[in-house]
């Protein structure tokens, strides 16, 4: 096969008698000869003459059934031939058999020849073969060694057919077996390997008997992958593989899974132990580990805090003294021996083991509250500050001052937090705080003393370190070694070097368990390496193993298409240059880098020197297209990235020449220019002479009068000539009866009495005298004269003295006059309109059809801060707000163009960056021809109005004191809950709570204390029932709780018991920290007791009073007999009241007598 032309030449067998001579098993190409190994023997082929000579004939029984042969010339120049009949050394005139044992593979390594065959792998020492693998006394399951290959690190790869691969180290004799593992992605595809090859990029290629070819890095993956193969299948199989927490102890790795399992991996034995059954009941997911005293570990689980003894493998639940079992999500120790715990839905806890005391930080709208009840990550930095990564922002708590600071994403602040869901926090060895969120990686910028009160600021290094990529979600953070940050993301494992501000993402080809890692699942092992947990297992990060390999591969031209033809798809290998014929309007190229590493993430860029100004980033695309390249010589340069992500220097350099068409040859162009220009010059000279004679002739026929007439007609003015001697006024008016300049007629009117409006006469005469005396060079006046319809019109007259007598007195004045009545009217209207716009309170802007400002009124300046000079000519997008997507403004402008008007509310942005909500009314303004001229927009600032509406809406639906829904909102939500329950066939429970003896506390301690108790009661209720139930305050000391999706009535009673237990702890009501108050609770159920909100409230109220009647601090469920008791008491009370009103009671004395005295 000639790679330059694509032609194939056939060579006949050395002997034509047998089929064995045509079965080629080995080839070796050398400058003077081609060596061909067949079943029949070894042939030598002269490629120039095509002559083929038999060098060695194989006659043994093993040669026919041999799977393959191999030819190799060693460094000493000796040619070796491995066959089923043994190993031969081929000399100039003879072949010497060194061994009669079947040999199928050869490789030279370390100055020695290694032979693979039925006996394994042997090394040639002198003329003797020494066994190398398998070692004496060891058992290996294989039939024969079919292939050998040497990796760049010097180790040998052995095809132990059909028993997989072996990696053999010639220096130490160490052997690593590699087998097919069906459950592990990226493992060996099959154990029956026929062929091995190491390419120029150092990659190991394997050819299997059944599943084709595969490629791998012979050094192994960058990251160790740990997974438990014993995981049983079933609905929780994926959760059992997903690692939620990880930590290290000497010789072991501890793992918590999303399937509530606890595993221990023995690093020395390479085995997993399942310790799930030792977890305290009820079991919960192990979400985090933290060191305890005496080598023990704290475990944050979904059902509370547990202490683990790694040596004894015993576990002890820790009672935090809280109602219920808090679902812990994150954990970290502080320097005082305490623990900070993040929860799911319950804020944060500070636990002091020595005192057994727990402090709770809850979420809420206050400045000292957490931003969100879900705390994903907790960090205590060197200064003692506690950082909380929550579901809605980052919080920094200073225990010494008891102050809380918050950081959230702000649209117009680039240094704000990029996203509000914070999943990871880490302080590196240099004291820098790193934040991982759903929007990427951020570093906290420590403020100086002057900026201590400013908002928390951050920088986002991945914006520059990973250009052209979306920032990955950062789930976990670690450091190894110092200054190198590792992060588990949703796109693989990220490494960031702070010193060089460079980042790299590692993928599946680097040995990762999956591209998805889990939040907070990172731990440091005893040897300093890191462990990251993901959805399919654990990856160990050894900084020494996570090497950078540039692996620069050459870039090659794969195909070239010129115009509609193809050059290179058939037979083209690497042309020296590309020649494009004249007129070729299309050049399509396909390039590729010869890098087949599984971890390669190739990107391309190209540049046509002489045509392109700079490099063009082609991403991952292989195709390059140019159209209409001008004639000339160019150099095409193509580069790809290496395995470290940098641009490789092994680039493709291909000269490209575009032929010039014959008609663009300089001599042809010069001749054509002469032929074309000569007639043009002659014709031009003749035309010029003819025009000169015509102009002279026209001038002699009265050019002056004609031009004047045309000028007057075109300008709409009339010519006047005033004879001062006889008082005659001559006026010349052009008439156009046919409507064109060709039919112009001149009408001269002579009048002795020229009428001027009495109010303007004195002004006209004064101006005339000033001009005749020479005070002003030109007579100019605007005054009124009679019009064609008899009314007065305004004219603007201009003229000068054209004739004087011998003594210099003026005899004639001539000039022009123009009707300016409509102009003055329009000017007056413009002045009125301008004054109206200037006095308007609303902002008014005029803009053109391209939405560029033409003018604005002062109210616009007051509203936006932009002066008219700053906005004129600028796009109206200058005041667009970031609260709306750009598509909102595009749709508004499209609708405005289509409909001619637009009305609605929009957010706009002032010059200082602040934003305001405005009511915008825009409409088109048509010109005199009815065409769209420009647009007018009126803006009204309604920000305060909308804010007031929101406040009124809040006051109408929420209790001001506690922030809970009031009676109106409760009724609405209860109605909706009933509708849902009726549709789903479920139950609703309504708990009616009344505080026992609250009136006595309120009267004794004051209303301020009562209000504080009510607020604390509301908080205690919300914390006790959670966010899934509705808590409302009806008024006074009455509260309600709505419970949806009840399966049975006992669930409502269970919640009532939990509420009574929750109120056993004293309330934290400001300064009143020892107040304990209990509620009485009434329970009513839908549809058991009522089907309307009002009836449910009434029955729950009745049940509550029954609870108070039987002794308070208890609960009762509504029954029908309660209404009868209530009616009986009401009847008795009414009867007694009437008896008192009618004075029907009397006192009767009954003496008691003693009969004994």
Per-residue H/E/C for 501-515: CEEEEECHHHCCCCC
**What gap in Å lies between CA 635 and CA 638, rounded to an integer?**
10
- For the four alpha carbons of 1062, 1063, 1064 and 1066, in that order, the dihedral sign comes to positive
Residues in contact with 128: Cβ distance below 8 Å, sequence separation at least 6, in sequence order: none
Token pair listed for 911: 């010059």
Q: Where are the beta strands (DSSP E) in 831-982?
A: 843-847, 853-856, 901-909, 915-926, 932-941
Ramachandran angles phi, psi of 924, nearest 5°: -85, 150
Token pair for 362:
């809850």
Pairing status of strand 52-57 against strand 41-45: antiparallel
1037 annotated active-site: yes
- Please provide residue 332's backbone torsions phi and psi, each rounded to the nearest 5 degrees: -160, 145
* Phi, then psi, of 646 in degrees rounded to 5: -85, 165
Burial 489-522 (b: 16+ CB within 10 A, else e): bebbbbbbebeeebbbbbeebbbbbbbbbbbbbb
CB 317 within 8 A of CB 304: yes
Q: Alpha helices of 612-665 — where are they, by DSSP H?
A: none
Q: What CA dihedral angle connects 881, 887, 891 and 893, to 10 degrees?
A: 50
19: Cα within 13 Å, side-chain hemisphere: 1
Helix or strand or coil: residue 979?
A: helix
Q: What gap in Å lies between CA 112 and CA 125, rounded to an integer? A: 8
Closest residue by Cα to residue 167 from 138, 136, 204: 204
DSSP H or E segment with residue 1078: none
Say if CB 1084 and CB 1094 are below 8 A apart.
no
In 37-153, alpha helices (H): 61-65
Contact 240, 263 (CB under 8 A): no
* Cβ atoms of residues 1030 and 973 within 8 Å: yes
Beta bridge partners of 924: 935
Q: What residues contact residue 168 under an 8 Å CB cut-off, 6+ apart?
A: 121, 132, 133, 155, 156, 157, 158, 174, 175
Q: Do residues 317 and 328 lie in contact, with contact meaning Cβ atoms separated by under 8 Å?
A: no
Closest CA to 196 of 168, 174, 155, 165: 165
Q: CA 129, 130, 134, 139 torsion: positive or negative?
A: positive
Contact 517, 244 (CB under 8 A): no
CB 1099 within 8 A of CB 1090: yes
CA distances from 322 to 104, 335, 1058, 1062, 1063 (A): 74, 24, 12, 9, 12
**Do the beta carbons of residue 1024 and residue 1062 sit within 8 Å?**
yes
What distance in Å separates the CA atoms of residue 838 and residue 359, rounded to the nearest whole number?
A: 62
Catalytic residue among 510, 721, 1037, 1101: 1037
Neighbours of 1004 (CB within 10 A): 9
Enclosing H/E stretch for 399: none
Which DSSP state fits 577? -
d(CA 352, CA 358): 6
CB 575 within 8 A of CB 557: yes
Q: How far is CA 795 from the centre of its chain?
A: 69
Where in the sequence numbering do the catalytic residues fall?
1037
């Amino acid at each position: 096969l000639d790679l330059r032309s694509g032609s194939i030449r056939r060579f006949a067998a050395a002997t034509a008698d047998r089929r064995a001579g045509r079965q080629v098993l080995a080839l070796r190409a050398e400058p003077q000869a081609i060596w061909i190994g067949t079943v029949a023997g070894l042939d030598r082929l002269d490629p120039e003459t095509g002559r083929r000579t038999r060098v060695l004939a194989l006659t043994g029984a093993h040669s026919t059934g041999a799977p393959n042969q191999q030819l190799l010339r060693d460094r000493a120049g000796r040619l070796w031939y491995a066959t089923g009949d043994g190993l031969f050394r081929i000399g100039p005139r003879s072949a010497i058999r060194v061994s009669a044992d079947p040999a199928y593979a050869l490789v030279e390594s370390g100055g020695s020849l290694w032979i693979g065959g039925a006996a394994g792998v042997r090394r040639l020492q002198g003329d003797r073969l020494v066994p190398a693998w398998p070692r004496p006394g060891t058992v290996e399951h294989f039939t024969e060694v079919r292939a050998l290959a040497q990796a760049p690190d010097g180790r040998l790869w052995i095809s132990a057919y059909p028993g997989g691969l072996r990696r053999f180290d010639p220096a130490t004799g160490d052997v690593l077996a590699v087998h097919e593992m069906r459950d592990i992605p990226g493992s060996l595809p099959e154990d029956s390997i026929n062929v091995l090859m190491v390419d120029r990029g150092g990659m190991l290629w394997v050819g299997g008997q059944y599943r084709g070819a595969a490629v791998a890095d012979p050094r192994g993956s960058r990251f160790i992958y740990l997974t438990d193969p014993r995981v049983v299948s079933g609905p929780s199989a994926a959760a059992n593989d997903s690692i939620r927490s990880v930590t290290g102890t000497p010789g072991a790795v501890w793992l918590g899974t999303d399937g509530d399992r606890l595993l221990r991996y023995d690093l020395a034995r390479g085995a997993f132990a399942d310790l799930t059954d030792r977890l305290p009941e009820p079991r919960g997911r192990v979400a985090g580990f933290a060191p305890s005293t005496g080598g023990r570990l704290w475990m944050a689980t979904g059902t509370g805090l547990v202490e683990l003894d790694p040596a004894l493998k015993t576990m002890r639940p820790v009672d935090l003294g809280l109602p219920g079992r808090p679902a812990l999500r994150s954990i970290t120790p502080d320097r005082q021996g305490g623990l900070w715990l993040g929860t799911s839905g319950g804020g944060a806890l500070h636990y002091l083991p020595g005192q057994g005391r727990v402090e709770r930080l809850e979420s809420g709208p206050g400045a000292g509250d957490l931003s969100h009840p879900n705390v994903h990550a907790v960090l205590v930095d060197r200064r003692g500050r506690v950082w909380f990564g929550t579901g809605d922002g980052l919080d920094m708590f200073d225990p010494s001052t008891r102050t809380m600071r918050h950081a959230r994403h702000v649209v117009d602040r680039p240094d704000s937090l990029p996203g509000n869901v914070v999943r990871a926090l880490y302080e590196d060895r240099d004291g820098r705080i790193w934040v991982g969120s759903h929007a990427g990686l951020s570093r906290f910028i420590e403020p100086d003393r002057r900026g201590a009160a400013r908002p928390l600021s951050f920088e986002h290094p991945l914006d520059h370190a990973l250009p052209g990529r979306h920032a990955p979600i950062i789930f976990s953070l670690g450091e190894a070694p110092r200054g190198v940050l590792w992060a588990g993301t949703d796109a693989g494992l990220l490494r960031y070097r702070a010193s060089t501000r460079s980042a790299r993402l590692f993928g599946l080809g680097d040995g990762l368990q999956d591209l998805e890692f889990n939040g907070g699942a990172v731990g440091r092992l005893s040897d300093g390496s890191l462990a990251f947990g993901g959805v399919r297992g654990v990856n160990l990060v050894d900084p020494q193993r996570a090497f950078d390999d540039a692996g620069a591969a050459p870039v090659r031209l794969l195909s070239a298409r010129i115009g509609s033809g193809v050059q290179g798809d058939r037979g083209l290998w690497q042309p020296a240059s590309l020649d494009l014929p004249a007129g070729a309007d299309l050049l399509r190229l396909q390039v590729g880098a010869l890098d087949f590493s599984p971890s390669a993430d190739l990107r391309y860029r190209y540049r046509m020197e002489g045509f392109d100004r700079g490099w063009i980033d082609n991403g991952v695309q292989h195709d390059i297209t140019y159209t209409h390249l001008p004639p000339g010589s160019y150099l095409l340069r193509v580069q790809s990235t290496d395995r470290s992500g940098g641009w490789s220097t092994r680039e493709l350099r291909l000269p490209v020449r575009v032929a010039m068409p014959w008609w663009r040859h300089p001599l042809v162009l010069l001749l054509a220019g002469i032929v074309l220009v000569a007639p043009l010059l002659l014709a031009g000279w003749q035309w010029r002479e003819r025009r000169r004679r015509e102009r002279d002739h026209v001038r002699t026929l009265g050019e002056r009068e004609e031009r004047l007439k045309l000028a007057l007609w075109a300008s709409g003015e009339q010519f006047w000539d005033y004879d001062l001697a006889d008082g005659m006024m001559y006026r010349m008016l052009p008439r156009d009866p046919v409507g064109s300049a060709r039919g112009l007629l001149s009408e001269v009117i002579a009048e002795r009495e020229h009428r001027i409006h009495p109010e303007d006469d004195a002004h006209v005469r004064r101006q005339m005298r000033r001009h005749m005396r020479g005070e002003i060079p030109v007579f100019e006046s605007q005054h009124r004269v009679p019009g064609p319809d008899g009314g007065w019109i305004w004219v603007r007259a201009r003229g000068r003295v054209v004739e004087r007598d011998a003594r210099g007195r003026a005899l004639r004045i001539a000039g022009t006059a123009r009707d300016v009545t409509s102009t003055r009217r329009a000017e007056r209207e413009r002045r009125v309109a301008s004054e109206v716009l200037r006095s308007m309170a609303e902002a008014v802007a005029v803009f053109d059809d391209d939405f560029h400002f033409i003018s604005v009124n002062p109210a616009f300046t007051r509203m936006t801060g932009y002066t008219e000079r700053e906005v004129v000519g600028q796009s109206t997008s200058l005041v667009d707000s970031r609260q709306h997507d750009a598509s909102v403004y595009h749709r508004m402008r499209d609708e405005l163009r289509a409909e001619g008007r637009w009305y609605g509310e929009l957010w706009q942005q002032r010059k200082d960056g602040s934003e305001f909500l405005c009511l915008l009314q825009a409409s088109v303004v048509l010109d005199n021809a009815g065409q769209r001229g420009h647009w007018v927009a009126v803006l009204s600032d309604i920000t305060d109005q909308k804010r007031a509406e929101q406040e009124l809406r809040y006051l109408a639906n929420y209790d001001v004191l506690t922030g809970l829904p009031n009676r109106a909102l409760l009724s609405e939500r209860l109605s909706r809950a009933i509708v849902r329950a009726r549709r789903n066939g479920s139950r609703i429970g309504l708990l009616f709570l009344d505080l026992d003896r609250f009136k006595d506390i309120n009267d004794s301690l004051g209303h301020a204390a009562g209000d504080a108790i009510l607020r604390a009661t509301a908080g205690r209720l919300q914390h006790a029932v959670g966010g899934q139930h509705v808590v409302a305050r009806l008024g006074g000391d009455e509260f309600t709780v709505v419970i949806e999706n009840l399966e049975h009535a006992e669930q409502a009673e269970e919640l009532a018991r939990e509420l009574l237990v929750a109120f056993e702890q004293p309330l934290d009501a400001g300064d009143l920290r020892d107040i304990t108050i209990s509620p009485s609770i009434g329970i009513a159920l839908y549809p058991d007791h009522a089907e309307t909100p009002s009836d449910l409230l009434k029955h729950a109220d009745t049940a509550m009073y029954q609870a108070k009647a039987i002794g308070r601090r208890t609960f009762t469920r509504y029954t029908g007999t309660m209404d009868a008791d209530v009616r009986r008491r009401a009847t008795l009370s009414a009867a007694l009241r009437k008896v008192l009103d009618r004075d029907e009671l009397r006192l009767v004395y009954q003496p008691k007598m003693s009969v004994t005295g």
